[in-house]
Structure 1
Amino acid sequence: MQTARQDRVLDEAFETADLHLIRLFGISASTAMRYITAAHPERTSKLPR
């Protein structure tokens, strides 16, 4: 059951790529950002070291 929920959140992150995941699924901001990063790695900026 947990895997189905994770898949649903990830699918939603693919479609929307915004933080409404917090309200929709009741998850924290950091968890929502992890899903968004997994769904859209090209949109995340990495600072050069």
Structure 2
Amino acid sequence: MQENLAIERILRALDEQNSVRASISRAASGTVAAASSAAGWIGSRFGLGGS
């Protein structure tokens, strides 16, 4: 009985980890797009108008 509880807890933890990983990768793809546009903005802002 105790073993079943432990296994269940492990499975639940793995489930949570998978959903967290999925939302992280979803957020990461959006972040990459935002970061590249921000990099372009910063580059044009400071690279061209520097000093």
TM-score, shorter chain, exceeding 0.5: no
Higher RCO structure, 1 or 2 (CA under 8 Å, sep 6+): 1
- Normalised by the size of structure 1, how large is the TM-score? 0.33
- Normalised by the size of structure 2, how large is the TM-score? 0.32
Q: Name the structure where helix makes up a greater proportion of residues.
A: 2
